[in-house]
């Protein structure tokens, strides 16, 4: 029995905890980012970049080894153009064989490996920043689902208040019908309006569930019909631009710097040490017709002067690409300025509408109160009262819509700035 009571109490506590769960807009931002599949690509890009850099360093600081083998036959071989009496000179074999191990170690590469490493790391940073740009777009989706869910909460609450008012008037009129001071048609008009409000509630509840379900899918959070969505802060805390696109443009410029350094490295000489060892016929003595071992080592200089042919054009291409990025950044900044100006205009407009909403709601409340008194005294009909009641409810609804539109405009302004 004690165990049963314990289970019942635990279940009640869990249900109460679920019913009181509160979610904030910032939590939705964070969770949507962390659970979005695209975020895993950042780690993958980092791993790929690390392996590519490791390959560059390995090829630079470890000797390059190669095993080479060759078997050949030729129709003529080297012979001495002399004849010595009583001495027979054995001619070289026309079939020849060689198997060697070649080792090459770069002593100086003109900073090519360093430039390649810098370019690879810069490329990884750019790719990761592109992912940041895409992840930042999630905020717009979260804003839509979150704020529409909040607006529906307010609309549902207003509709229920309207129904309470209708119910109270129906009860009074029903009592008047019973005692002959009112007519049934007035009660029927109020009843019809009450049923219409029921229909609106069904539609709004379905939409409310839809927005909450989409928000739960996007964020990965447990959001049900009992979850409380906290009202976001409306203050615009900063106008500083912190968009990930701005940082992306800066990172792309570092790639051009690395590419320029890599182009310069192509025109510098390379110095390497080499060793070749093996076994073959003939070996290093081309006049010997025996299988012997061979070994040779030394220092090699390689200077590819043909890279100078295209160096100027390659650098010109990089400069043009950099100008293209600067142009794209200018377009982005221009559009951003226009978007912020539009949002500020929208904010100012909505603030003016809300001021008038407050006056209109107060006026509609007075009109409805007068209409209710007239209905009870038989001066006005139920239809007159319903019209005034709906007008009051619509005024309150417009007020809430404008308040949420203002909130959306302010949050959008903040999102556009990247804060």
* Joined tokens for residue 167: 């119910």
Instruction: Spell out the long-range contacts of 319-326 with Cβ–Cβ below 8 A and sequence spacing 24 or more.
Output: 321/256, 322/253, 322/256, 325/249, 325/252, 325/253, 325/256, 326/249
Q: What is the pLDDT of residue 389?
A: 85
**CA pair distance 348, 276, nearest whole angstrom:** 81
Average pLDDT over residues 278-283: 89
pLDDT digits (tens, 9 = 90+) for 29-60: 999 999 998 888 888 999 999 999 999 998 88
Token duo for residue 85: 């009496």
Structural domain total, the chain: 1
53-90 tens-digit pLDDT: 999 998 888 999 999 999 999 888 877 677 767 766 67
**Domain that residue 248 falls in:** 22-64+109-268+310-417
Tokens of 153: 């909460």
Per-residue model confidence as pLDDT tens digits over 97-148: 999 999 999 999 888 888 999 999 999 999 999 999 999 989 989 999 998 9
Q: Which of 96, 102, 101 is nearest to 291 (CA)?
A: 96
Q: Is the pTM of this model over 0.85?
A: no
Q: Average pLDDT, stretch 347-358?
A: 92
- Reduce the DSSP state of residue 249 to 3 states and report it: helix
Position with higher pLDDT, 236 vs 270? 270
At CB < 8 A and 24+ separation, what contacts does 125-131 make? Answer: 125/251, 125/254, 126/248, 126/251, 126/252, 126/254, 126/255, 127/45, 128/42, 128/45, 128/46, 129/244, 129/247, 129/248, 129/251, 130/248, 131/38, 131/39, 131/41, 131/42, 131/45
* 75 assigned to some structural domain: no
If residue 74 lies in a helix (H) or strand (E), which one and from where to where?
none
Is residue 169 included in any domain, yes or no? yes
Cis peptide bond prior to 144, omega within 30° of 0: no
Say yes or no to pLDDT of 17 above 70. no
Q: How many residues does the chain have?
A: 419
CA–CA gap between residue 188 and residue 79 (Å, rounded): 127
* Contacts with 37 (C-beta within 8 Å, 6 or more apart), sequence order: none
Those residues with Cβ within 8 angstroms of residue 330's Cβ, 6 or more apart along the chain or in another chain: none
pLDDT of 196 > 80? The answer is yes
Q: Which two tokens stand for residue 298?
A: 């030394």
- Asked whether residue 39 is assigned to any structural domain, the reply reads yes
pLDDT at 410: 87
291, part of any domain:
no
Report the pLDDT averaged over residues 11-33: 71
Tabulate helix, strand, coil % of the chain (nearest 5). 70, 10, 20
User: What's residue 3's pLDDT?
Assistant: 44
**Where are the strands (E) in 233-322, listed by range?**
270-281, 292-302
Instruction: Supply the CATH number for residue 233's domain.
Output: 1.20.1600.10
Q: Is the dihedral of CA 306, 311, 317, 318 positive or negative?
A: positive
Any domain includes 286: no
The whole-chain average pLDDT of the chain stands at 86
Q: Does pLDDT of 2 surpass 50?
A: no
Inter-residue contact 244 to 133 (CB < 8 Å): yes
pLDDT at 170 over 70: yes
For tokens 């539109």, the residue is 405
The residues facing 353 across adjacent strands are: none
337, burial (CB in 10 Å: exposed 0-12, middle 13-18, buried 19+) = exposed
**362/235: higher pLDDT:** 362
Measure the CA–CA gap between 96 and 70, rounded to whole angstroms. Answer: 8
Residue 306 burial (CB count, 10 A): 9
Q: Does residue 168 form part of some domain? A: yes
Portion of the chain with pLDDT greater than 90, in percent: 38
Angle at 223 between CA 218 and CA 226, to 5 degrees: 155
Residue 10: per-residue pLDDT? 45
| Cα 100 → chain centroid | 54
Q: Could you tell me where the DSSP H helices lie in 38-137?
A: 40-61, 112-136
Q: Determine if residue 296 is left, alpha or beta; phi over 0 gives left, psi from -120 to 50 gives alpha, anything else beta.
A: beta
Residue 86 counted as domain residue? no
CA distance 41 to 64: 33
Q: For the segment 210-229, what is each residue's pLDDT rounded down to a tens digit?
A: 999 999 999 999 988 889 98
183 domain-assigned:
yes
Which residue carries 């229909």 as its tokens? 199
Strand ranges for 62-218 from DSSP E: 64-73, 95-108
């Amino acid at each position: 029995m004690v165990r049963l009571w314990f289970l019942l109490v635990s279940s009640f506590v869990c249900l109460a905890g679920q019913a009181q769960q509160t979610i904030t807009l910032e939590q939705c931002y964070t969770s949507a980012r962390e659970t979005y599949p695209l975020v895993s690509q950042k780690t993958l890009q980092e791993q790929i970049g690390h392996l590519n850099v490791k390959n560059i360093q390995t090829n630079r600081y470890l000797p390059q080894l190669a095993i080479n083998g060759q078997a050949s036959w030729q129709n003529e071989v080297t012979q001495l153009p002399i004849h010595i009496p009583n001495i027979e000179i054995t001619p070289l074999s026309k079939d020849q064989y060689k198997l060697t191990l070649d080792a090459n170690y770069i002593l100086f590469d003109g900073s090519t490996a360093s430039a390649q490493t810098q370019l690879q790391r810069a490329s990884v940073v750019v790719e990761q920043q592109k992912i940041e740009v895409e992840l930042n777009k999630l905020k717009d989706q979260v804003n839509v689902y979150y704020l529409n869910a909040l607006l529906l909460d307010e609309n549902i609450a207003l509709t229920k208040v309207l129904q309470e008012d209708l119910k109270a008037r129906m009860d009074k009129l029903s009592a008047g019908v019973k005692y002959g001071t009112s007519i049934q048609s007035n009660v029927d008009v109020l009843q019809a309006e009450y049923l219409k409000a029921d229909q609106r509630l069904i539609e709004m509840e379905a939409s409310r569930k839809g927005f909450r379900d989409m928000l739960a899918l996007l964020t990965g959070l447990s959001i049900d019909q009992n979850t409380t969505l906290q009202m976001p802060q409306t203050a615009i805390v900063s106008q500083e631009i912190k968009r990930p696109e701005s940082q992306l443009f800066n990172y792309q410029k570092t790639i051009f710097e690395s590419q320029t350094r890599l182009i310069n490295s192509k025109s510098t000489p390379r110095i390497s040490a080499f060793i070749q060892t093996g076994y073959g016929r003939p070996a290093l003595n081309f006049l010997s017709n025996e299988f012997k071992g061979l070994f040779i080592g030394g220092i090699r200089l390689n200077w590819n002067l043909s890279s100078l042919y295209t160096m100027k054009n390659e650098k010109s291409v990089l400069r043009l690409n950099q100008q293209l990025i600067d142009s794209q950044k200018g377009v982005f900044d221009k559009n951003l300025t226009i978007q912020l100006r539009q949002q500020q205009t929208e904010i100012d407009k909505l603030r003016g509408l809300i001021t008038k909403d407050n006056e209109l709601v107060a006026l509609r409340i007075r009109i409805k109160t007068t209409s209710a008194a007239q209905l009870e005294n038989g001066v006005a009909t139920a239809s007159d009262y319903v019209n005034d009641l709906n007008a009051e409810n619509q005024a309150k609804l417009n007020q809430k819509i404008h308040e949420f539109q203002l909130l959306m405009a302010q949050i959008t302004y903040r999102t556009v700035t990247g804060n």
